Amino acid sequence: MIGIVNRADKSTTNISSPIRTHGNDVETLPVVPLRGGSEVIKPGKKKPGLRLWMKLDRFGKSQVLECDKNAIIKSVSIPLRDLRILGPLFSHSSNILAREKAMVVNLEFIKAIVTAQEVMLLNPLESKVVDFIDRLKQQLPMKSPTRIDEYNGTITTNQPELPFEFQILEICLETICSFLESSVLELENNAYPILDDLAMNVSTKNLERVRSLKSNLTRLLARVQKVRDEIEHLLDDNEDMSQLYLTRKEMQNQQYESLMESGASIPSNEVISPQSKLQRLNSRTHASILSIATSILSEDEDVEELEMLLEAYFMQLDGTRNKILSVREYIDDTEDYVNIQLDNQRNELIQLQLILTIVSFAIGINTLIAGAFAMNFNCELFEQKGLFWPFVGLTSFGSFLVLLLILGYARRKNLLGS
Within-domain flag for 209: no
Which CATH number belongs to the domain containing residue 97 in this structure? 2.40.128.330
Within-domain flag for 364: yes
State the pLDDT confidence band at 385, using cuts at 50, 70 and 90: confident
Higher pLDDT pick, 220 / 385: 220
Within-domain flag for 25: yes
CA distance between the termini of the chain: 71
Q: What is the pLDDT of residues 131-164, one digit of tens each?
A: 999 888 888 766 555 444 444 444 454 545 678 8
Task: Select from 107, 131, 160 the last residue of a domain.
Answer: 160
Within-domain flag for 253: no
Separation between Cα atoms, residue 370 and residue 362, nearest integer Å: 13
State the pLDDT confidence band at 281, using cuts at 50, 70 and 90: very low
Task: Select from 160, 195, 211 the last residue of a domain.
Answer: 160
Within-domain flag for 298: no
State the pLDDT confidence band at 207, using cuts at 50, 70 and 90: very high
Residue 262 has pLDDT above 80, yes or no: no
Within-domain flag for 250: no
The alpha carbon of 212 is separated from its chain's Cα centroid by a whole number of angstroms, namely 18
Within-domain flag for 222: no
Identify the pLDDT of residue 294: 47
Q: Is the pTM of this model over 0.75?
A: no
Number of domains in the chain: 2
Task: Select from 118, 139, 160 the last residue of a domain.
Answer: 160
Of 133, 207, 198, 122, which Cα lies nearest the Cα of 168? 133
Highest averaged pLDDT of the listed ranges 92-101, 157-166, 264-273:
92-101
Residue 270 has pLDDT above 60, yes or no: no
308 phi/psi in degrees, rounded to 5: -65, -40
Within-domain flag for 14: yes
Separation between Cα atoms, residue 194 and residue 197, nearest integer Å: 5
Name the residue range of residue 52's domain. Answer: 4-160
